[in-house]
Each structure stands twice: as structure tokens, then as C-alpha cells.
Amino acid sequence: SSIKMLLFLCHRRYPTVEVQAKTFNGSTHVTVPEDDAFLKALLFELRLTDQNFVEYRDTCTRLDTSPVYSVRTEGGDLWPVVAFQKGDLIYACLPLVEEALNPQPPMLSISGISQGLDLLTGILDYISPSRKNEAELSAKVGQLRNLLLQACPLGTPLQTNLRSLSSNFDDIQDFSTHSDPKQPAWRTNTYKGKPHVSVGISEKVKCMQYDQRDIIDVWQVYGTVTCKCDIEGAAPNVTLSLNLPTNGSPLQDIVVHHCVTSLDSAMFMSSSIDTTDDSAFSGPYKFPFIPPSDSFDLCSYTSQVPVPPILGRYQLNEEGSQLKLSINLKLHESIKNAFEYCEARIPFFNRGPITHLEYKVSYGQLDLSREKSLLVWVIGQKFPKSLEISLTGTVTFGPNTEETPSDIICIGNTAYVKLYFRIPDFTLTGCYVDQHSVQLFSPGKPKINSSRELISCDYYIWNSKASAPIMYKTLFT
């Protein structure tokens, strides 16, 4: 939620927030008056300028909701105004209510009230130690406007601890007197030093495998490109290109950060919903942008790769008081065989603790969790040369206890194996950034760092000997 900030000694308006408020309320919108008129109305509401009895303000039938007030102005009542007095100073803000004010919504449903109060408390904490030293107070108030540009750049509180922000004040420009009119609002400070650009591509692969004739396995990649650009200038122009190898999987459903200045419309034509479209744009994907001061997500995307990185088969059969399990995993030959970690977790729900375990594993090691309801197959950092591994075993359980993990889906033999892995310096789509993919229109040769990773996310292999939750089902004749 966004807020408008006002102090006796410093105030700040957010015109875009006022436009949002008008959009929510239409003809019933109450315009925020000029600063002097608002201050006069606020002082009156706080009984600081007229302490005589005023019917609408002082009647005992009016519910006291301080520090949230309704301030009467010539254009109507402004609500909710968050205000409190501490010493000789008044701290106040007008939060944006992201819904219509007629009828008046309950205060507990308005997140902006608590956010506004939190920010005002942060300002109080920053100002208060200097209240009795006029010179120090004046200096802090002079810094306050610039700190608010970082704490609340576009009207939304991002950081309420102004003390921590003030420690970096030397890096903050005085925008009120020296700001560049071309500097975008999201560049809240200016870097000085050698240009340095860091780009990270992180892809997560989700997968559901069933090993059943009438159920289609499904998988998809979700990628995020994160950037950190330390570049001099008020509005430096950067162009970054994402590249794919010849056999790379096209990017789909691309969403970009608002700092991107222009894009090729062909990049947005490919959607994962349209399964009949075989003319997907395959790059290069160029993103010209003016970077924010801090790390940010330049874009996100999805992709439908031809095969999942690890193919698996899980078979679980119940024989009397025992469960017999068989798991086969195969790393696809196109996948980089160099993991940071790789393991398969085999949980057993709605059963007692494991009392007896016999197993044979072709590779890696098998561990039993402390709760004795989970098997952890630690595969390690590489698959063997054959790229195939297997685990077979027999599990016996004791009686159920209160600590027994339960699940409403995994009943009977409906069970799964869940894979956890990370492959550094690799993406499933093949997407990459090289030194020539980043262009800076500023003096100095930039240092470019790039990284890639593939991480498993919700990677399930279901027991093919039992029913399982499915996303798609096709009958083959």
C-alpha cells in the first residue's frame, strides 16, 4: 500500500498515489488540499489550534480511533490520516486505501495504516535523538527527504529503518537541488567507481512422472534473470541479450521489469498455453533498460523442454506387513553430469515408524531419517558413467504414533519419490549470457560476471502401481 508523508519540518507528496486514490473512489474522491490547508485542518483535528468544544469533533458519541483520524477539509473528510505528536513534532501520513471509501471499510483490512504507522515510527526513531540539538535536528531533517526517496521511492514503504539507511547517506544524492531530470524514480542513488554488471540466470524445473500408459508425464521450466548494475550516471543505458544454442528451447510467457525501455514484440508472441504454435521466437532476446540501483529481476519466463533432466520409475507393492519398493533413475545424456547436490527422498505417510529395512543400492547411499518415516537416497555430485542407478528394498513398519506423518492424498500405495538437485553453470533451456551480450553506453570498460543454475522444484515421481493425482490424462487406443 502507498502512503503520503507529512511533517511539520518536511513533507512529501506522491501524485501517482493521489491518482490511484481518485481511480478507486471516482466522483466521491476527496482531493488532498494544499500543504498549508492540510496542516491547518490536521492541527484543528488534533485540538492544537482550537481547544473550544466543537460538536462533530468533541462529542462523546464519536468513537476515538487515534492515531487514525478523519480530517475535515473544504473538499470533504480525508480518512484515514495516521498522526501522532511526540515532543514538539507531529508525524502524519495519509495512506492509500486500495478500495472504495464509501462505505468506509474496516481499519483492520487496510494494510496501509499499519505500514504508514511503521514508517512514521521509523522516522521518529531517526529524528528523536536529535530533538534537543537544533543544529543536529536541522541536519537530520535536511537528510530526511533523501532518505525517504530510498525508504519510500514511489509511495510504497520498502524500508522503515531510516537509521540503517542513513549510514549509507554519503551515497545518496540530494535530489531536491541536484537531481537530473532524466533520472528515473527507481534509481535512488548514484554509483561511483568502475562499471560492474552481474547477471544470474536461475531455472527451476517442475515435473510430474507417472510411468503409466494412459497418463502423460508433464514438466516445465521457470526461469528468472537477476541483474545488479553498478554503473555511473543518472540514467545509464544498458542492453542485455539472452542467447540460446541451436537446439535450445524457446522462451515463453516472458514478463519484464518496468525499467525495460523497449522490446521486440515477437518475444511476447510465444505462450505456453498455445500448444499448437510451433513458430516460437528463438532469440536473441534483447532487453534495453535503465537499471535500478539495487539488484532486480530483469525478466522471468517459462519453457517447454523436450525431456525432463532425470527420468524415473517408482514401484511400490504391499505384501502383508511389508512394502517392497523399486526405484530406477536415469540422467538424460544432454544434462551436465556435475551436481552441487542430488538426492531422492522417499516418504511414507499414514504408517508407523520404520522398524526394519533391507535394501540394495547400485549407487550412492541410503539414510533413514531420525523420525524413521523417510528414506533419503543421497546420490551425490555425479551419476555413474551408465547414467542409470537403482534402489530396491523391503520396509517394515511399527504401529502408528502421534508423530506419524499423515497425508490425505498419499493413502495406501499412492506414494511418491521427490528429487532435490542443483546443477551449477547449466540451464535446461540452454539460455546463457556471454561477455558480448551486455552493452553499456557509458565510459569505461565494464566487468561482466554471469552465472547459471538449474534447480529442482516440485519434482515428483509417483508410484506406477497405484493411482496418483494427475494434471493431464489421455486414453490411447
The arithmetic mean of pLDDT across residues 368-385, rounded, is: 94
The region of weakest confidence among 68-72, 259-263, 266-270, 361-365 is 266-270
Fold match flag (196-307+428-461 vs 310-425): yes
Cβ contacts of residue 387 below 8 Å, gap of 6+?
A: 330, 331, 332, 333, 337
Which pLDDT score, from 0 to 100, does residue 166 have?
63
Query: Model-level pTM?
Result: 0.63
Which pLDDT score, from 0 to 100, does residue 178 have?
45
Q: Which of 399, 398, 380 is nearest to 389 (CA)?
A: 380
Q: What is the tens place of the pLDDT at every residue in 190-227?
A: 778 888 999 999 999 999 999 998 889 999 999 999 99
Cell of 18: 493521489
The number of residues in the chain equals: 477
Contacts 24+ apart (CB under 8 A), 328-335: 328/388, 328/389, 328/390, 329/379, 329/388, 329/389, 329/390, 329/419, 330/387, 330/388, 330/389, 331/383, 331/387, 331/388, 332/307, 332/308, 332/387, 333/387, 334/307, 335/309, 335/310, 335/423, 335/426, 335/428
Which pLDDT score, from 0 to 100, does residue 5 have?
36
Which pLDDT score, from 0 to 100, does residue 474 have?
45
At residue 170 the predicted structure's pLDDT band, cuts being 50, 70 and 90, is: very low
CATH (one of 2.40.30.70, 2.40.30.130, 2.60.40.1170, 3.40.50.880) for 196-307+428-461: 2.60.40.1170
What sign has the CA pseudo-torsion 299, 304, 305, 308? positive
Highest mean pLDDT among 84-93, 160-169, 348-357, 420-429: 420-429
At residue 6 the predicted structure's pLDDT band, cuts being 50, 70 and 90, is: very low
Q: What is the tens place of the pLDDT at every residue in 50-62?
A: 778 888 888 877 8
Q: What is the tens place of the pLDDT at every residue in 292-301?
A: 888 999 999 9
DSSP letter, residue 31: P
Instruction: HSE, CB side, 13 Å, CA atoms: give it for residue 374.
Output: 15
pLDDT, averaged across the chain = 85
At residue 341 the predicted structure's pLDDT band, cuts being 50, 70 and 90, is: very high
Which pLDDT score, from 0 to 100, does residue 274 have?
62
Which pLDDT score, from 0 to 100, does residue 277 have?
53
Amino acid at 101: L
**Domain definitions of the chain by residue range:** 15-165, 196-307+428-461, 310-425
Residue pair 241/284 in contact by the 8 Å Cβ criterion: yes
Assigned fold of 310-425: Immunoglobulin-like (2.60.40)
Q: How far is residue 317's CA from residue 406's CA, in Å, rounded to a whole number?
A: 19
Q: What torsion, rounded to 10 degrees, do the Cα atoms 104, 106, 109, 115 define?
A: 80
